[in-house]
Every structure is written in C-alpha cells, then in structure tokens.
C-alpha cells in the first residue's frame, strides 16, 4: 500500500486527456509485443499511432460493440493479446452478454477500455452516461475493474493489465481532459489504495474523477479546522479490502465518493471491508435520477459527488456529533 504524504495538488496544472496520454503507450506496447493487437468500434483516438506504425495491428469492426467483443475473444483464443476499446455506455450495455460468455466465462486475457465512463460525456445526456459500468463489470466472473484518477494513473493501470495475461480487465477511461493529480496518485501498484493527503479527523476514499474533488474538499475542510486525509482507490474489483482497513486505521469517519452507482462500487465495498465495528461511514454516489443537460462538473454537483458535497457531508456529520455530545 502506498502511503506517501504530500502537499496539496497544484490547481494550476493544465488538465490532461487519458486518451492522448495512452495513445503513444499503446503504440509502443504493440511495437514491443508481436502478440498484442488492438480492436476498435469506429473510434481511433486511442489507436491512431498504432495504425500509423502498422495498420495490420488494428481491427475496426465498425459501430458494432457486440461484434467487437466477439472478435477480441476470437483473437485471444488464437493466442493473441487483444486490447478492445469503445465508448463505455455502448461497450458495457450492448456487449454485456458477449463480455460475460465469450470473454469472462473462459477467462480470456482481453483488455477492455471503456471511454467516457461515468458522466464524462456531460451534455450528451443519459444515453451517453455510464454510471452503471462499475456495477455491471464488477459482476462479471474473473473481471478486474479499474477506475483511474487521472491520465498518469490510466497509463499506470494499462501497463499493469497488459503485463498480466491471467484474465480479462476493464478500465474506465474519461472522455475529456482531467485535472492533474499529485504523482502519488499514479505511483506504486494500482491494485492498492494510495494515500495522497494525511489527516486524522476523516479519511475520504475516492475513485476516478472524484479523487480531484476529494482533494478540493480537503483544502476547504482545512479552512474549517478539519484535518482530512484523501486516498485514491483505482482497483474496484477485486477490492483491496485489507489495504483499505489498514489505511483507515483509527480515524473516526470515512467518506467514500464515486461517480458510479452504489451496487458493487466503492461505498458498499468499503462498508463490507470495515464491518459493523468500523468507523462511521458516509457513501456518496450517483443514483437513477434523470440528469439535467449539463457539463460534467455540474453533473457531479447534481448527484452530490463533487468537492462541495464531500465537504458538506463531513461538516454535517461533525455538527451532528457535536450536538449529540
């Protein structure tokens, strides 16, 4: 478990795109490994550099996500290592049966990259939102599920899953550039939580885009006299329960923040890890309310998983405990 204590993150750093950062990484991996092959569904942003170097290492199935997964599974059975990418809402929902039966049941080493998971496509609306991707993919047999916190974390995760051929993996990628987080957010093993900021009063566990929101909340809570620790949890399935328990330690309050539905997500998994005798736990997550047409940041606020919502949850709990004392 990485437990590096660091200063507040630099808010002035320009946001970075996961797709832009991953494109050269994937191209280099394909060049280095003759068994690696990429598969896309009418989307080339991730694989453009692969195509430039060697178009034979890229298969485009068109707008047909079920086909995408079936082709990837066939390539895996032929001894290749496929990396398949598509927009998350369509990859997860349209190809759910194929992912389960063609890839997960036989345990094939297929890497699935879901672009725009969560609320990343913002004003395109609920047809393009995928807050259910973590829930659905965590229910798959043998599937590893990752939700990187920023572009550097996404690079670390993809390199990790490419090196592991034991089974399938799903990686949620953002659709737009994300805030740049401290180096500790992408250091060490992505299967373990990383402590980004220390504090004794509360631990905020966050995943994906909510990690930046948690750091913002911690900055605000410091002004309120609350010492908030922040940790990033990138691996959601299998869940690093023992490492989370160790990280929580003796802190009296844990808050989880995730841009996803609760089932199979960060909040319930943390609750299971801590058990009934654990500290007070507040779980912030999305729900099934119909969203407004709004930008990504506004949607995080609508569902109550932005920095201000995290800060408010901590202060409300603190005030309630003060009144009860």
Structure tokens of 185? 């957010």
pLDDT digits (tens, 9 = 90+) for 197-218: 999 999 999 999 999 999 999 9
**Contact criterion met (CB below 8 Å) for 38 and 26:** yes
d(CA 276, CA 116): 35
The pTM (predicted TM-score) of the whole model is 0.95
Average pLDDT, the chain: 95
Q: How many CB atoms lie within 10 A of CB 140?
A: 20
| Per-residue confidence (pLDDT) for residue 11, from 0 to 100 | 52
The residues near 182 (Cβ < 8 Å, ≥ 6 apart) are 6, 7, 9, 196
Cα angle for residues 292, 294, 296 (degrees, 5° grid):
120
**Contact criterion met (CB below 8 Å) for 138 and 145:** yes
12 falls in which pLDDT band (50, 70, 90)? low
| Per-residue confidence (pLDDT) for residue 321, from 0 to 100 | 78
| Whether the predicted pLDDT of 2 surpasses 70 | no
| Per-residue confidence (pLDDT) for residue 221, from 0 to 100 | 98
| Per-residue confidence (pLDDT) for residue 104, from 0 to 100 | 98
pLDDT digits (tens, 9 = 90+) for 120-173: 999 999 999 999 999 999 999 999 999 999 999 999 999 999 999 999 999 999
| Per-residue confidence (pLDDT) for residue 21, from 0 to 100 | 97
323 falls in which pLDDT band (50, 70, 90)? confident
d(CA 285, CA 261): 6
Domain annotation for the chain: domains and CATH numbers:
18-173 (3.40.50.970), 191-324 (3.40.50.920)
Structure tokens of 258? 């995730």
7 falls in which pLDDT band (50, 70, 90)? very low
Structure tokens of 315? 């202060």
| Per-residue confidence (pLDDT) for residue 134, from 0 to 100 | 98
Structure tokens of 39? 């598969």
| Per-residue confidence (pLDDT) for residue 305, from 0 to 100 | 98
| Whether the predicted pLDDT of 243 surpasses 50 | yes
pLDDT digits (tens, 9 = 90+) for 245-283: 999 999 999 999 999 999 999 999 999 999 999 999 999
Expressed in angstroms, the distance from the first to the final Cα of the chain is 35
Q: Is 198 helix (H, G, I), strand (E, B) or coil?
A: coil
State the virtual CA torsion across 208, 163, 21, 232 in degrees, nearest 10: 20
171: left (phi over 0), alpha (psi -120 to 50) or beta: beta
H helix intervals, the chain: 18-32, 48-53, 65-77, 88-94, 96-98, 133-138, 151-162, 210-223, 241-248, 266-274, 296-302, 307-324
Structure tokens of 65? 């996500």
% of residues, the chain, pLDDT over 90: 92
| Whether the predicted pLDDT of 27 surpasses 90 | yes
Please provide residue 32's backbone torsions phi and psi, each rounded to the nearest 5 degrees.
-85, -20
d(CA 32, CA 250): 46
| Whether the predicted pLDDT of 9 surpasses 70 | no
| Whether the predicted pLDDT of 64 surpasses 60 | yes
| Per-residue confidence (pLDDT) for residue 3, from 0 to 100 | 36
| Whether the predicted pLDDT of 92 surpasses 60 | yes
d(CA 109, CA 199): 40
Q: Is 168 helix (H, G, I), strand (E, B) or coil?
A: coil
């Amino acid at each position: 478990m990485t437990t590096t204590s660091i200063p507040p993150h630099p808010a002035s750093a320009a946001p970075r795109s996961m797709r832009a950062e991953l494109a050269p990484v994937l191209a280099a991996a394909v060049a280095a490994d003759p068994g690696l092959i990429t598969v896309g569904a009418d989307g080339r942003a991730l694989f453009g550099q692969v195509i430039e170097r060697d178009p034979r290492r890229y298969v485009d199935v068109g707008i047909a996500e079920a086909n995408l997964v079936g082709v990837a599974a066939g390539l895996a059975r032929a001894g290749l290592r496929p990396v398949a990418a598509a927009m998350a809402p369509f990859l997860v929902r349209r190809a759910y049966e194929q992912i389960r039966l063609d890839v997960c049941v036989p345990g094939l080493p297929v890497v699935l990259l879901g672009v725009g998971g969560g609320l990343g496509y913002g004003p395109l609306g609920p047809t393009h939102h995928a807050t259910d991707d973590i829930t659905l993919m965590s229910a798959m047999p043998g599937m590893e599920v990752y939700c990187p916190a920023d572009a550097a974390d996404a690079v670390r995760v993809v390199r990790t899953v490419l090196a592991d051929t034991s089974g399938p993996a799903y990686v949620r990628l953002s659709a737009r550039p994300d805030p740049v987080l401290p180096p500790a957010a992408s250091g060490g093993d992505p299967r373990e939580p990383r402590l980004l900021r220390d504090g004794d009063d509360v631990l905020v566990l966050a995943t994906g885009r909510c990690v930046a929101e948690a750091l913002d909340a911690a900055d605000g809570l410091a002004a309120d006299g609350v010492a908030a620790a922040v940790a990033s949890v990138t691996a959601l399935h299998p869940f690093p329960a023992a490492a989370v328990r160790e990280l929580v330690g003796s802190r009296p309050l844990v808050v989880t923040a995730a841009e996803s539905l609760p089932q199979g997500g960060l909040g319930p998994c943390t609750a299971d890890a801590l058990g009934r005798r654990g500290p007070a736990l507040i779980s912030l997550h999305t729900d099934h309310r119909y969203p407004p047409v709004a930008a990504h940041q506004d949607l995080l606020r609508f569902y109550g998983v932005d920095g201000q919502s995290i800060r408010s949850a901590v202060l409300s709990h603190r005030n309630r405990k003060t009144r009860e004392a």
